[in-house]
Chain A
Amino acid sequence: MGRKKKKASKPWCWYCNREFDDEKILIQHQKAKHFKCHICHKKLYTGPGLSIHCMQVHKEAIDKVPNSLPNRSNIEIEIYGMEGIPPEDVKEHEKQKSGGGKGSDSEDDEPAAKKKATTALLGPGPSTVSPGILPTPMGPAPPGMYHGHMPMNPMMPPFMQAHRMMMPGMRPLFPAVSMPPTSTSKPTFPAYSNATISAPPTTSTTSSSDPKENGEVKPPAANSCPLVTATGAGSKIIHPPEDVSVEEIRARNIKYRPKPKPDAPVPQPQPAPAMITPSTSQAEVWVAAHMNAAVAAARQQQAAAALRRGVLGGVVGVLPASMPRVPVSMPQMAPVMPMLPVMPQFNLVRQLQPGMLLPGGMGGMGGMGGMGGMGSMGGMMPMGAMFPGGVMMQPRYR
């Protein structure tokens, strides 16, 4: 990095050519003058850091470093204090300042060491600036999936965590897919065992913990079913329940049936008279037949699932009533749900993490609403069908 030579002169700011006595002050200067977000005034650590911040947080592109000299406004160059200054600029600066400079070796060495120390210390600085774009396990973390999950991690069976850890290594890439089967097995929560005062976690507890964790992962088993099944209590796919494309569903709408005069040259905005002309009936029959089949199949599955759920149905029915009201109402529930040692655990955990309390509670409510809205078809069926444990987990969200 050609760093050896440059501390001959005082630290200076590449962006505005100002000199400082101490690199620490220089860094403060850069953060305040050049790396401060003009929107929220957050001080970032580098130009690229600022640019990424603006892009991600404010969705604004920044093309210049604020308060910089015209030829030094490049936001792409990562400069931190004296780190990262293009070598030719260092030389040029030294030339300008020459006359002085060229200190003895001993002078040289000391600051060098110091500098290294600083860099080492501050090393993480620039990178922490842009956590958003660092490769997260599954690639960038888009807003939807984020850290709501993180606090839950402790509750994941340890091997699932291992899974996550592995992911940066990035191989099988389908952790989502590979997880669910494993998640039915029974790790306990060593991490939380001390936090959990009561009831040693049981198998059922674990299973009840994952659905929320990676709810969307759940349904693979339900996959063959012609329904787009909800993905566990914590999440909902915003798509019609039938597993056909929205275009097909939309095309069934009466207003998209052909009109009597097919060659009308003018665009006919919607409510077109619905007449089934012979020419189109074929298509319609086809579509209709197909859809009916899908729906019928769906119903069958649903019915089957309902059967399978049979006994437990009662349980499921009871819980919603008691749960949302009294989140910690363990004792009441116990008789209803044999598995329920879990519940206190969860409640406890929640309380321990105040941040989660609210969302958790709301989740319960929201989940209920969602379920109700989806009717019996979407939400519960698939779980019952594919994952007997699924029934156990549900109460938690209600």
Chain B
Amino acid sequence: MTVTRVAESRTEFKLKSLPENAISSVKFAPKSNQFLLVSSWDRSVRLYDVTSNTERHKYNHEMPVLDVCFRDAVHTYSGGLDQTLKMYDLNAGVETDLGEHKNAIRCVEFATEVNAILTGSWDGTVKMWDSRVPNCVGTYNQGNERVYTMSIVGEKFVVGTSGRKIFVWDVRNMGHVNQRRESSLKYQTRCIRVFPNKQGYVLSSIEGRVAVEYLDSNPEVQKKKYAFKCHRIKEAGLEKIYPVNAISFHSVYNTFATGGSDGYVNIWDGFNKKRLCQFHRYNTAVSSLSFSHDGSALAIACSQLDESQIEDPKPEDTIYIRYVTDQETKPK
């Protein structure tokens, strides 16, 4: 991948003391644009102070970590290939194993509404955990499909799995699944994020395509759903279509950023069907994105996860923090 080197500027900089292997997930702390939690294939979970560009905490799993989340400013949760859900108290520096899945934990989310942790696993289930003590509240089968992505806003909980299945739950009532859907995209689901206003969700696939869908099953509302192509590069007559690995919502404007294996980050206005901007090309695939709570900063994790695509020399695993402007994120 040829990339023009972009000088660091006040609007964008690279984090220091980065993980030593691919970055699986980045998440900003709730109510902060200072702290960023990062999970990596180097088995670590790290907390960065973005303002001072320092690493503040670090703990390890036995195996690569695939996802992390915050409960509040001082409690974090993580899971990965070691199948174990860990809670970490940042103040005390104490880690607690909360429980296990039968296969790798792919996604970890905190459900504010019920004060519980949700984990999605390749064992085909989602589990709900008491956020304080090791206690699994419930196990919810996701059609025996491996969980690839999850997103929760308020009570709306959407799970995307292998086989292009989508399950919509209400976390207040996990007794039954609210909606079972098939992805409207024809290829493997890569990422799902629920709109901050809970009206719907955005779904991306490995085939350079993003769908905007609505949860209300009323046909009038469903008519509004659409999908568009992105993260494709045409070179010498061959169109390369890249997976769209990451989506992150701007919580204030309901616009969202997508990151693809092509190394680009785009910001979209999903309601008006417009692209607001595209950043420069990053050094390798964008593996994870996270807007800070007020939408002023965007963390961009760059890691090539697809080892068949890794070039020589191997592109660095990096995390950029970009301070975005209204012009880049606000619907026009």
Contact = CB atoms under 8 A, between A and B. Distances in A.
Interface in B65-107: 66, 81-83, 102-104, 106
Contact of A270 (B21, B223, B232, B238): B21
Contacts of A188: none
Interface in B227-254: 227-243
Interface in A246-271: 246-251, 253, 256, 258-259, 262-270
A238 B24 CA distance: 19
Contacts of B58: 267
Contact of B232 (A144, A173, A177): A144
Interface of A: 48, 51, 55-56, 59, 61, 63, 132-133, 135, 138-146, 148, 170-171, 173-174, 176-177, 215-216, 219-220, 223, 228, 231, 234-240, 243-251, 253, 256, 258-259, 262-270, 282-283, 286-287, 359-367, 370
Interface stretch (B38-46, B135-143, B150-158): B38-46
Contact of A142 (B230, B236, B309): B230
A139 B274 contact: yes
A146 B209 CA distance: 14
Task: Give the residue among B241, B243, B264, B280 with the most A Cβ atoms within 10 A.
Answer: B241
Nearest to B270: A139
A61 B272 CA distance: 21
A144 B239 contact: yes
Contacts of B242: 144, 237-238
B305 A246 contact: yes
Interface in B257-308: 261-262, 264, 266, 268, 272-280, 305-308
A262 B84 CA distance: 12
Given A61-B327, A267-B60, A359-B237, A249 B228 contact: no
Given A133-B332, A286-B103, A237 B325 contact: no
Contacts, number: 233
A223 B185 CA distance: 10
B255 to A, nearest CB: 12
A176 B227 contact: yes
A223 B186 contact: yes
A250 B230 contact: no
B262 A144 contact: yes
Contacts of B276: 55, 133
A233 to B, nearest CB: 9
B327 to A, nearest CB: 5
Nearest to B243: A239
A269 B239 CA distance: 36
Contact of B241 (A51, A235, A251, A364): A235
26 contacts: A59-B278, A61-B328, A133-B274, A139-B273, A140-B228, A142-B228, A142-B231, A142-B275, A142-B278, A143-B232, A144-B234, A171-B223, A216-B209, A216-B229, A234-B239, A235-B232, A238-B240, A243-B162, A244-B188, A245-B162, A258-B63, A266-B60, A267-B60, A268-B43, A283-B102, A359-B236
B120 interface: no
Given A140-B228, A145-B229, A56 B277 contact: yes
Given A144-B230, A236-B239, A246 B306 contact: yes
Nearest to A231: B241
Given A144-B241, A216-B208, A248 B146 contact: yes
B206 interface: yes
Interface of B: 11, 20-22, 24, 41-44, 58, 60, 62-64, 66, 81-83, 102-104, 106, 122-123, 146, 148, 162, 184, 186-188, 190, 206-209, 223, 225-243, 261-262, 264, 266, 268, 272-280, 305-309, 325, 327-328, 332
Given A144-B262, A248-B122, A259 B20 contact: no
B82 A250 contact: no
Nearest to B60: A267
Nearest to A239: B206
A277 to B, nearest CB: 10
Contacts of A245: 106, 146, 148, 162, 188, 190
A18 to B, nearest CB: 27
Contacts of B277: 55-56, 59
A223 B187 CA distance: 7
Contact of B186 (A138, A219, A248, A267): A219
A170 B190 CA distance: 24
Task: Give the residue among A141, A245, A249, A282 with the most B Cβ atoms within 10 A.
Answer: A245
B272 A135 contact: yes
A49 to B, nearest CB: 12
Contacts of A283: 81, 83, 102-104
Given A216-B207, A235-B238, A262-B62, A59 B280 contact: yes
Given A59-B279, A239-B243, A220 B186 contact: yes
A269 B58 CA distance: 14
Given A61-B325, A139-B274, A248-B146, A240 B42 contact: no
A63 B21 contact: no
A170 B273 contact: yes
B237 A247 contact: no
B187 A228 contact: yes
Contact of B44 (A135, A223, A264, A267): A267
Given A216-B207, A366-B236, A269 B325 contact: no
A365 B148 CA distance: 36
Contact of B64 (A251, A263, A362): A251
A144 B223 CA distance: 26
B148 A56 contact: no
Given A228-B188, A247-B66, A287-B103, A240 B228 contact: no
Contacts of A236: 238-241
Contacts of A270: 20-21, 42
A256 B327 CA distance: 42
B227 A238 contact: no
A267 B43 contact: yes
Contacts of A269: 20-21, 42
Nearest to B328: A61
Contacts of A265: 60
Contacts of A59: 277-280
Task: Give the residue among A51, A176, A267 with the most B Cβ atoms within 10 A.
Answer: A267
B224 to A, nearest CB: 8
A55 B11 CA distance: 14
B230 A238 contact: no
A216 B209 CA distance: 10
Contacts of B146: 244-245, 248
Contacts of A135: 272-274
Given A238-B243, A238-B261, A248-B122, A139 B306 contact: no
